[in-house]
Amino acid sequence: MTSALEKPVPMDGNAAATYIAYACSEVSFIYPISPATPMGENMANYQASGRKNIVDDQVVPVTVMQSEGGAAGAVHGALTAGALASTFTASQGLLLMIPNLYLIAGELTPTVFHIAARTVAKHALSIYNDHSDVMACRQCGWAMLASCNPQEVMDLALISHIATLKSSIPVLHFFDGNRTSHEIEKVFPISYDAIKNIFPYDLVDKNLRSKALNPSTPLARGTGQRPDIFMQANLASEKYYKAAPAIFNEVFEEVSKLTGRELKPYHYSGHPEAERVVICMASICDTTEQTIERMIEQGEKVGLLKVRMYRPWSSDMLVDAIPKTAQKIAVLDRTREEGALGSPLFLDVCVSFSEKQDPRTIIGGIAALSGKEFTPQQVSAVFDELKAKNPRYRFTIGVNDDVTFTSLPILQSYTDTVPLETKQCIFWGLGSDGTVGANKEAIKTISENTDFFAQGNFFYDSKKSGGVTNSHLRFGPKPIKARYKIQTADYVACHNQSFLGRFDMTNDLK
């Protein structure tokens, strides 16, 4: 590892995001909403401890507002006054910010909002993850970067805060809520001194402070425009968006060089002559990648394209990253747009290949809505569908769709792709009995005091205190890319005797 990295510490995605956000902000406005609440809490804790940012070596004021709309409005006000500002949210909270998202982007103002992506309430409320919230914002004019795991959250958070200053385009940096946001892993923090070496201090003045409203240098902003000028003014910003992909790519390369970790806006992994490729975003990428590694060992020619930069979209980067040998491609979206021809990522991929006059078979699937598990078996089923002579162009994976019959059959191949050396443990507890707290400390202890990679995920029922809890811990000498519940446990513990007759706790044992 390079000297830019601190000693590894256990962190979840929320902690990784705020570690960077605090460093690169002068002020922050927050409002709690699950699963983004810990980000605001972490910012407030940093402030209380007297931590200094890297922008002006000051403690960052953190203010709790009365709604997410208020938080976004306050951020907009701070940016208009020339201060680097940030906030954190999810789901309906993000939707309440949309009016201000349009304004901030329309004014070409640099900022970063970190999003623990969460289902937007439809027929029912759900606090679990999919991408329906961030996809509702894709026309607001913001760049959108997606992280796969807690380490990537830290890396892409830094990329976001630097790229927004270089491009003048605000950034929504999102990662999967209640999976990446709360998943504890060994993370290598980027030192604040190293961040200072690449932070574009000159652009804070050029692209933010110089645009600030100031009575000494008055200018008009937020005016009303009529049809004779609005369209021209709106189109004038397009040059910034055309320049943005190259700028973001340069920042990806800069942070990759700093950390020693390979980061690309569109990152291909797998067989160099893959015949079938899956394209997806966020945490399901890691599960897909680990399954692909196992499939390649068994002679399959398959690959994965991770989309880390969803906006600004680059057809050139996307198409160039995929092997020419891959004639069949499946695109997985973690959202469902009712009544649409296809889901957002699928449509963008199709347009990219159409523009390049590149005739490949591209199919689109819906996966892992509202926290539904995405497993190696599902990855295998998608690749099996691509083998078909005439694969279905729209499909669902992970549930049995007995209404519209869009689901793919799930076979029991690749039941677990976790390295054999990795130990997997499940702990059943009663909410507030100390099981979850003890296991959080256990996985942190393993992470801090051994060379093992470690991962901790914690699941609750709706009652939390007094309800059933499950702690899923993995640790071992090899990187852990499994972003799903343990299926083949080495060890299962029951911390409440009444569970023995109610739950089949042996089902997930090896």
Is 507 contained in some domain? Answer: no
Is 88 contained in some domain? Answer: yes
DSSP lists the bridge partners of residue 156 as none
Segments forming the whole domain that contains residue 65:
9-203+228-258
Are 108 and 237 in the same domain?
yes
Are 73 and 177 in the same domain?
yes
Are 88 and 193 in the same domain?
yes
pLDDT in tens, 120-133: 999 999 999 999 99
Average confidence (pLDDT) over 436-441: 96
Is 361 contained in some domain? Answer: yes
Is 458 contained in some domain? Answer: yes
Give residue 4's pLDDT band: very low, low, confident or very high (50, 70, 90).
confident
Name 77's Cβ contacts closer than 8 Å, sequence gap at least 6.
none
CATH code, domain carrying 297: 3.40.50.920
Measure the CA angle with vertex 449, ends 256 and 375; round to 5°.
Answer: 60
Are 191 and 295 in the same domain?
no
Are 172 and 308 in the same domain?
no
Sign of the four-CA dihedral 456, 376, 151, 154: negative
Percentage of residues of the chain with pLDDT beyond 70: 99
Are 196 and 47 in the same domain?
yes
Q: Which of 408, 442, 436 is nearest to 496 (CA)?
A: 436
Are 145 and 179 in the same domain?
yes
CATH code, domain carrying 496: 3.40.920.10
pLDDT in tens, 223-245: 999 999 999 999 999 999 999 99
Go through 5-40 and write b for each residue having 16 or more CB atoms within 10 A of its CB, e for each that does not.
Answer: bbebebbbbbbbbbbbbbbbbbbbbbbbbbbbbbbb
pLDDT at 426: 97
Residue 340 has pLDDT above 50, yes or no: yes
- Of the listed ranges 116-120, 215-219, 480-484, the least confidently predicted one is 215-219
Is 251 contained in some domain? Answer: yes
pLDDT in tens, 389-429: 999 999 999 999 999 999 999 887 667 789 999 999 999 99
Residue 1 has pLDDT above 60, yes or no: no
Helix (H) or strand (E) holding 320: helix 315-321
Are 59 and 93 in the same domain?
yes
Are 179 and 283 in the same domain?
no
CATH code, domain carrying 153: 3.40.50.970
Average confidence (pLDDT) over 316-341: 97
Average confidence (pLDDT) over 63-82: 97
Long-range contact set of residues 502-506: C-beta below 8 Å, sequence gap at least 24: 503/428, 503/468, 505/426, 505/428
- What is the full DSSP assignment across 91-103? HHHHHHTHHHHHH
pLDDT in tens, 347-376: 999 999 999 999 999 999 999 999 999 999
Q: Which of 397, 412, 439 is the last residue of a domain?
A: 397
pLDDT in tens, 276-289: 999 999 999 999 99
DSSP lists the bridge partners of residue 362 as 329
Q: Which of 41, 40, 63, 61 is nearest to 50 (CA)?
A: 61
pLDDT at 414: 67
Is 216 contained in some domain? Answer: no
Average confidence (pLDDT) over 434-445: 96
Is 509 contained in some domain? Answer: no
Are 250 and 274 in the same domain?
no
Name 507's Cβ contacts closer than 8 Å, sequence gap at least 6.
none
Are 387 and 446 in the same domain?
no
Is 4 contained in some domain? Answer: no
Note whether 311 and 142 are within 8 A (CB). Answer: yes
Task: Tell me how many domains the chain contains.
Answer: 3
Are 476 and 343 in the same domain?
no
Mean pLDDT across the chain, nearest whole number? 95
Sign of the four-CA dihedral 269, 271, 273, 276: negative
Average confidence (pLDDT) over 493-503: 93
Q: Decide which of 463 and 433 is more confident.
A: 433
